[in-house]
Amino acid sequence: MADTARRHAELVARIRDANHRYYQLDAPDITDAEYDLLLRELEALETAHPQLVQANSPSQRVGDAPSGKFAQVRHALPMLSLANAFSDTEVAEFVERIERETGDDLPAFSVEPKLDGLAISLRYEHGMFVRGATRGDGSTGEDVTANLRTVKSIPMQLATGLFPPEVLEVRGEIIMPRADFEAYNARARAEGRKPLANPRNGAAGSLRQLDAAVTAQRPLTFYAYALGEVQGADLPATHSQTLQWLRQLGFPVSPEVGTAAGLTGLLAYYKSIGERRDGLPYDIDGVVYKLDRFDRQQEMGFVSRAPRWAIAHKFPAEEARTTVEAIEVNVGRTGAVTPWVQMTPVQVGGVTVSRATLHNADQIARLDVRVGDSVIIRRAGDVIPEVVRVVESARRPPDSVPWQMPAHCPDCGSAIEREAGEVVARCTGGLFCPAQRVQAVVHFASRRAMDIEGLGERFAQDLVTFGLIQTVADLYRLQVADFLEMKRRADARDDSTPATVKAGKIADKWAQNLVAAIEASRNTTLERLLFALGISDVGESTAKTLARHFGSLDALMAADEAALQQVPDIGPVVAAHILHFFAQSHNREVIAELRAHGVRWTEGAPQRASDGPLSGKTVVLTGALESMSRDEAGAKLEALGARVSGSVSKKTALLIAGQAAGSKLAKAQDLGLEVWDEAQLLAFLAAQ
C-alpha cells in the first residue's frame, strides 16, 4: 500500500499541475493523450483502493479552480465533464449498461462532434444576455461577459417573440475555426509576433484576456450543445429536439449533430465523422453520444463528475511528446530553406512520425527548439507534423546552445541568405542548385518561357534523377537516344516496361518530338529568356519591361542598382533580386552555356521612353475577348507604350474588361478607375 499511496500522490500532484497549466495559464506542458492516461491510471487506483479517494481529488473534479483574474460565478447547475471511451469495446459497455438499466433494446442517442475549445455558459434573463462564464471547476467559473459580447455568433437577444423564458442558460463551446486560426498565425509570423500554439489554446487564451478589445480582434465563434438552468419555458422531450429549438432561438449548433440508434448507429457515426474530420472547419477530438430522451437521462443519473447517460468517444491523439535528435534543413524547389527536426519516432494521429517541420528560422527562434529538447508535436490528418511547443522544464542539458540557420546550402554549397523584411531564407544557388533543378527546368520549358512542348514535370524529374542534365543549358545537348535511355530506366524503376519494348519494339516518335521542340526553342526573345531564367520577382511583365529598357542581356547584366531602379516599376527589392542573380558565377556560367549551345534571343536598342498614346500608363486586361486573345491585345497595347500588368492597384490607369470579368473589375470599380469594354478597345486601336 505504501507504493500505491505514493503513486497516487504523484498522480494527484501531476494532474493538478496539468489542470492549472491548461485551465488557468492556457499553456499545457503535456498532450491531451498523456493527460487522459494519467487520469485513467488515477481512476483505476481509486477504484481498486477506495480509501485513497479524497473530495478534492482530480477524479472528483471537472477542471481547475478559477484563476482569480476575473470575478467568480457560481453555476446554478454544475457544468460536468464527460467520461471518455477510447475503443469500440468501451462504447459497447456504455450502451449495454444503458440497455440493461432502462430496458430499452435499441436506445436512441443524440450524436455530435466533440469540439476542441473552451466550455462556457451563457445566461439570458427575459431574452437578454446578462452574463457568461467559463466552466472552471464545474461548480464555479470566471465571469467573462465583456469578452463574450465581442463574439459575433453569440446572440445578445433571443429570437423568442413576445414571451421569452424568464431564465435560460445555454451551454456550449467557444472555438477558433481552423481557417481563421491559420490566417491569424500567418499574420502573426509576418509581423514578428508569437503565433498561437493550436486553435484550442487560441480560443481559451483569447476569451480570458483582461482587455475585451483584444478578444474582439480574435476570430472566435460559438456553438451551443446543452442547457443549464431554465425557468419559464416548456422544453422538448429530447436532447436532439432541444438543439433544434436552440437553433430557432438564434444559437449556432454544429451542422454535424444528428441521432443514432444502438451501438451500430453510434459506431457508424464515429466512422463517418472520422472520415470527414480533416475537412471540418474546426478541430474536434472525438464525438459525443448522449441518451436522447430526457426521462431516460434522469433514470441513468450521474456519478461524481460526469453523467452516466453520455460519453465522449475519443479519436487517436493528434498531439504527442517526443525528443529532438537533430535539426536539419530542406531546400525546396524554389530555394526556400525549411528547418526540420529529426526526433524519436512517436505515434500521433494514428501514424508513426519521426520528422516535423519548423517552418522557418523565426519559428525556431520563437519556440527556441534545441537538439535534445522534449517537444510537443501536432499532426492533423494529412498535414505535415509540426512542433507546437517546447517543454522547457524538461530541457537537457539546461544550457544547450540555440540552433542557428546554416550559412551554406547543404545541396550545392551556395550561400543561404534572408533578405530584409522576408520570413523565408533561400539558397542562392538558383540554376545551379540540385534541389531547385527540377522546378528550374519545368519553369524554363513552360509555354510562356522557352515553350518546349512536351517537357513537363515528370520528364524533368527523370532527366534530373538519372543525371542526364545538371542545368537547363544541358537540355540543348540531349539527343533521341538520351530520352530513350531515360524512359528505359524510368520503366525499370517503376516496373512498368511495356511488353512491346520487351519484345524489342521501341517507339521513339515522342522522343523525336521532344528533341524537335528543344531545337525550336533555340530562337527566342530576350523577354522570354529573362522570364525563363527564374529570377526571383521577375515575372512576364517585369521581364518585358527589362528587355525594352536595356535592349540586351549584356546591358542588363552590367547594370548596377541605380540603373535598375530607373526602370519603371522596379523598386529596391526587385533590383536586389536581379543584382543577386547575376552576381552568382554559376548563373552566368549557365547563360554562357546557353549561348555556346546555340540559344539566341532577339535584342534591340534600349527604349527609355515611348511617344505612344499610352506611354507611362499601366493597363490591366481581364475577362475573355472575342476578337483576339489577351496576349495579342497586350502586345498591341505595349506597342503603344503601355505597361501591361496582371493585377489592379491605385497605379492602374485603365482596365479593359472582356466577358466574365470578375474580381479585377470589381476592384477597379471600387478604386474609381477607368474601365473599357472590348468595343472601346477596338475603337481605340483602330484610331491609332
Q: Could you give the residue numbers annotated as active site?
A: 114
21: cell is 497549466
31: left (phi over 0), alpha (psi -120 to 50) or beta: beta
In angstroms, the CA 125 to CA 166 distance is: 5
Task: Indicate the helix (H) or strand (E) that contains 213.
Answer: helix 212-216
| Displacement of CA 40 from its chain's centroid (Å) | 33
Q: Residue 7 phi/psi, 5° resolution?
A: -65, -40
| Displacement of CA 277 from its chain's centroid (Å) | 15
- C-alpha separations of 156 from 26, 328, 649 in Å: 27, 51, 40
For the packed helices 434-445 and 457-465, what is the interaxial angle rounded to 10 degrees?
Answer: 140
In angstroms, the CA 260 to CA 645 distance is: 56
The residue whose grid cell reads 508513426 is 352
676: cell is 473599357
DSSP code string of 180-197: HHHHHHHHHHHTTPPPPS
Contacts of 342 (CB under 8 A, 6+ apart): 324, 325, 326, 327, 328, 354, 355
In angstroms, the CA 94 to CA 158 distance is: 36
DSSP code string of 67-113: -SSS-EEE-SS------EE-SHHHHHHHHHHHHHHH--SS-EEEEEE
* DSSP assigned state of 274: H
* DSSP assigned state of 256: T
Candidates 177, 189, 134; CA nearest to 153 is: 177
Using DSSP's 3-state secondary structure scheme, residue 458 falls into helix
- C-alpha separations of 443 from 137, 248, 429, 459, 593 in Å: 59, 55, 16, 13, 18
| Displacement of CA 327 from its chain's centroid (Å) | 22
Torsion, CA 380, CA 386, CA 392, CA 397, rounded to 10: 130
In angstroms, the CA 276 to CA 54 distance is: 41
- C-alpha separations of 485 from 430, 432, 480, 508 in Å: 27, 24, 9, 11
Candidates 234, 231, 238, 255; CA nearest to 123 is: 231
Candidates 340, 286, 346, 338; CA nearest to 319 is: 346
528: left (phi over 0), alpha (psi -120 to 50) or beta: alpha
Candidates 151, 156, 121; CA nearest to 221 is: 151
Question: For 215-243, b where at least 16 C-beta lie within 10 A, e where not — what string?
Answer: bbebbbbbbbbbbbebeeeeeeebbbbbb
288: cell is 459525443
Task: Indicate the helix (H) or strand (E) that contains 482.
Answer: helix 480-494
